[in-house]
């Protein structure tokens, strides 16, 4: 029988074989022909991934609130015009188009900033006392070339200060991100530069173009930079390809072309950072791909155990974008923003095993039950303790006490409460200290009081 011609699917999939560790040996597993694989560049969060995810998110919400940012949630799908108008045209980022409604060009958002500004305008936040401090957390989509730590779906923690021109806003944003990494135990180096205002850049751009066109430099550039030369020459300085890093040596420096106002503004930002004790590296090549930035731009790079900062896996980036609100239909309004990449932060947390320590810090109360009557009572007790702020766990679908105790051990519960028929009748609970193994019978109405002596209540954080 002649071989049937198959049409290749236009959608690329992740490899259909995965490695699985069986009894300490790595084996390559072939999936069945029917199995549908993950799409390329997308990631599943499995098991312990959620501990580092939880830690990265909880810290984001905690710090955003402490530093006075209000939460905002915007749609994942936005009108393509939002990005076309706000100068994504010179960006590297490739869009995922969505067939939303006939004739309407919609995309999966490639970043959070534009949606947040749209929402600021649409919800008339410009009429409120300025500045407005907003934060948002959620997924973004970019059709990118695959690389370590680069996904097509990733999540950002985005902070924006809208309506404030003063250099203090840069200091507040940078400080929030710096504390975020510090409190998560992630070593970072702040890279900072000033791109100046439009006036500053006019002369600089022509000098830069002339530099790159000189003595065969152009032919040695990577393909992407070759295309960008003349369109967004500034972005060439920031290319992270080794060949382009070599070529840029000796290029003109934007610092020599800053207007007096831009020089003063940047000087003040650096002064605040000194006051706050935030070390920085003045990096005259830091430009950031997008053309909506002016004046201060910055990134946080991870620092390895060898003390070397890695420019290829930036953890966060941001800057001043004073033209953005106006370009989206608002009145001229200064703005400064920052986005932290949560997956990159998670990579660092996993390297350091920080999430395990974080999980250990939770003081858990496990509620075990034996018999039907006890199950009902345990359900009520669970709700009572949970709403009182205790960190409670259970497995009500399991009948065996042994299995429940094993689970309590696996969760590293500090206390296990056991309810059986006798306890239900006597209105008592068996309270077991899992570390010492000491058990005591406690009256049900005294349980919170007893737990308070052994455990710290924790008020849960709600996030989306
Ligand atoms: P950007 O919006 O490009 O300035 O990115 C801000 C931060 O988001 C970066 O510093 C990264 O930490 C993270 N990030 C951006 N793109 C990706 C991606 N494709 N995969 C994972 N993280 C990303």
List pLDDT tens digits, range 409-461: 999 999 999 999 999 999 999 999 999 999 999 999 999 999 999 887 764 43
User: Would the CB of 314 count as within 6 Å of ligand 1?
Assistant: yes
**pLDDT at residue 157 above 70?**
yes
How far is the centre of ligand 1, averaged over its atoms, from the C-alpha of 149 (Å)? 9
pLDDT score, position 407: 94
Average pLDDT score over residue span 378-407: 93
Mean pLDDT of the chain: 87
**pLDDT at residue 338 above 90?**
yes
- Atom 15 in ligand 1: residue holding the nearest Cα: 341
Average pLDDT score over residue span 96-111: 87
- Percent of the chain predicted with pLDDT > 70: 87
pLDDT score, position 166: 96
Q: Are strands 153-162 and 280-282 parallel, antiparallel or unpaired?
A: unpaired
How far is the centre of ligand 1, averaged over its atoms, from the C-alpha of 193 (Å)? 19
Name which residue leads in pLDDT, 19 or 298: 298
**pLDDT at residue 234 above 90?**
no
Query: CB within 8 A of 296, min separation 6: which ones?
Result: 167, 170, 192, 193, 194, 195, 265, 266, 269, 319, 320, 336
Q: Pick the atom of ligand 1 nearest to 151's CA.
A: 20
Give 105's strand partners. Answer: 99
Q: How confident is the model at residue 18 (pLDDT cuts 50, 70, 90)?
A: low
**pLDDT at residue 8 above 70?**
no
Q: Pick the atom of ligand 1 nearest to 93's CA.
A: 3
Name which residue leads in pLDDT, 3 or 368: 368
Count CA atoms within 13 Å of residue 302 on its CB side. Answer: 22
Question: pLDDT tens digits, residue range 178-224?
Answer: 999 999 999 999 999 999 998 888 888 888 888 888 877 888 888 88
User: Would the CB of 321 count as within 6 Å of ligand 1?
Assistant: no
User: Would the CB of 343 count as within 6 Å of ligand 1?
Assistant: yes
Q: How confident is the model at residue 134 (pLDDT cuts 50, 70, 90)?
A: very high
User: Would the CB of 111 count as within 6 Å of ligand 1?
Assistant: yes
- Structure tokens of 464? 């989306």
Q: For the chain, first and last CA: distance in Å?
A: 55
- The SS3 assignment for 335 reads strand
**pLDDT at residue 86 above 80?**
no
How far is the centre of ligand 1, averaged over its atoms, from the C-alpha of 369 (Å)? 47
**pLDDT at residue 143 above 50?**
yes
How far is the centre of ligand 1, averaged over its atoms, from the C-alpha of 316 (Å)? 7
Q: Pick the atom of ligand 1 nearest to 340's CA.
A: 7
How far is the centre of ligand 1, averaged over its atoms, from the C-alpha of 140 (Å)? 9
- Atom 17 in ligand 1: residue holding the nearest Cα: 150
User: Would the CB of 363 count as within 6 Å of ligand 1?
Assistant: no
pLDDT score, position 17: 52
pLDDT score, position 175: 96
The Cα–Cα gap between 397 and 155 comes to 34
The Cα–Cα gap between 420 and 39 comes to 49
Lowest mean pLDDT among 110-124, 262-276, 285-299, 407-421: 285-299
Instruction: Evaluate whether 322 touches 160 at the Cβ level (below 8 Å).
Output: no
Q: Pick the atom of ligand 1 nearest to 345's CA.
A: 12
How far is the centre of ligand 1, averaged over its atoms, from the C-alpha of 313 (Å)? 8
pLDDT score, position 356: 60
Name which residue leads in pLDDT, 463 or 452: 452
User: Would the CB of 144 count as within 6 Å of ligand 1?
Assistant: yes
User: Would the CB of 344 count as within 6 Å of ligand 1?
Assistant: yes
- Mutation to probe ligand 1, out of 317, 321, 342 (largest number of atoms < 8 A from CB): 317
**pLDDT at residue 344 above 80?**
yes
Instruction: Evaluate whether 48 touches 349 at the Cβ level (below 8 Å).
Output: no
Q: How confident is the model at residue 23 (pLDDT cuts 50, 70, 90)?
A: very low
**pLDDT at residue 401 above 80?**
yes
User: Would the CB of 339 count as within 6 Å of ligand 1?
Assistant: yes
pLDDT score, position 361: 66
The four Cα atoms 122, 128, 134, 136 give a dihedral, to 10 degrees, of: -30
User: Would the CB of 348 count as within 6 Å of ligand 1?
Assistant: no
How far is the centre of ligand 1, averaged over its atoms, from the C-alpha of 206 (Å)? 29
pLDDT score, position 20: 54
Query: Exposed, middle or buried, 216 (CB in 10 Å: 0-12/13-18/19+)?
Result: exposed
Average pLDDT score over residue span 37-56: 87
- Mutation to probe ligand 1, out of 314, 337, 347 (largest number of atoms < 8 A from CB): 314
pLDDT score, position 200: 85
- Atom 16 in ligand 1: residue holding the nearest Cα: 150
State the pTM of this model.
0.79
**pLDDT at residue 368 above 70?**
yes
- Atom 8 in ligand 1: residue holding the nearest Cα: 341
DSSP H or E run through 54: helix 49-66
User: Would the CB of 43 count as within 6 Å of ligand 1?
Assistant: no
pLDDT score, position 1: 40
**pLDDT at residue 24 above 50?**
no
User: Would the CB of 150 count as within 6 Å of ligand 1?
Assistant: yes
Lowest mean pLDDT among 223-237, 260-274, 296-310: 223-237
- Atom 9 in ligand 1: residue holding the nearest Cα: 316
User: Would the CB of 142 count as within 6 Å of ligand 1?
Assistant: yes
How far is the centre of ligand 1, averaged over its atoms, from the C-alpha of 277 (Å)? 26
Name which residue leads in pLDDT, 282 or 87: 282
């Amino acid at each position: 029988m002649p071989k049937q011609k198959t049409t290749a699917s236009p959608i690329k999939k992740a490899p259909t074989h995965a490695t699985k560790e069986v009894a300490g040996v790595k084996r390559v597993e072939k999936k069945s022909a029917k199995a549908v694989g993950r799409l390329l560049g997308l990631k599943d969060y499995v098991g312990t991934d959620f501990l580092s995810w939880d830690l990265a998110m909880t810290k984001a919400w905690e710090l955003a609130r402490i530093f006075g940012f209000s939460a905002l949630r915007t749609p994942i799908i936005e009108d393509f015009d939002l990005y076309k108008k706000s100068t994504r045209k010179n960006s590297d980022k490739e869009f995922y188009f969505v067939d939303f409604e006939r004739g309407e060009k919609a995309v999966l958002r490639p970043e959070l900033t534009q949606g947040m500004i749209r929402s600021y305008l649409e919800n008339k936040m410009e009429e409120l006392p300025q500045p407005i401090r907003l934060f948002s957390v959620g997924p973004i989509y970019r059709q990118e070339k695959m690389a370590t730590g680069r996904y097509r779906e990733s999540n950002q923690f985005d902070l924006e200060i809208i309506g404030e021109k003063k250099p203090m806003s840069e200091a507040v944003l940078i400080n929030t991100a710096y504390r975020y990494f510090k409190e998560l135990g992630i070593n970072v180096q702040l890279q900072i530069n000033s791109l100046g205002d439009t006036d500053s850049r006019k002369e600089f751009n022509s000098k830069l173009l002339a530099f790159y066109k000189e003595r065969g430099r152009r032919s040695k550039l990577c393909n992407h930079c070759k295309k960008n030369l003349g369109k967004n020459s500034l972005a060439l300085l920031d290319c992270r390809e080794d060949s382009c890093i070599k070529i840029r040596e000796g290029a003109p420096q934007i610092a020599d072309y800053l207007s007096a106002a831009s020089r003063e503004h940047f000087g003040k930002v650096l002064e605040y950072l000194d006051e706050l004790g935030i070390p920085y590296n003045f990096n005259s090549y830091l430009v950031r791909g997008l053309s909506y930035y002016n004046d201060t731009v910055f990134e946080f790079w991870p620092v390895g155990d060898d003390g070397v900062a890695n420019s290829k896996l930036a953890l966060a980036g941001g800057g001043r974008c004073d033209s953005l609100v106006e370009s989206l239909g608002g009145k001229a309004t200064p703005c400064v923003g920052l986005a932290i990449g949560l997956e990159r932060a998670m990579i660092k947390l996993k390297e350091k095993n920080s999430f395990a320590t974080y999980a250990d810090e939770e003081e858990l109360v496990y509620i075990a039950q034996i018999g039907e009557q006890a199950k009902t009572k345990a359900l009520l007790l669970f709700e009572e303790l949970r709403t009182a702020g205790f960190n409670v766990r259970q497995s009500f679908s399991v009948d065996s006490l042994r299995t429940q105790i094993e689970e309590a051990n696996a969760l590293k519960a500090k206390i296990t409460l056991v309810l059986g028929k006798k306890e239900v009748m006597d209105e008592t609970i068996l309270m077991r200290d899992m570390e010492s193994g000491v058990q005591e019978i406690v009256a049900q109405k005294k349980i919170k009081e007893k737990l308070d002596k052994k455990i710290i209540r924790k008020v849960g954080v709600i996030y989306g």
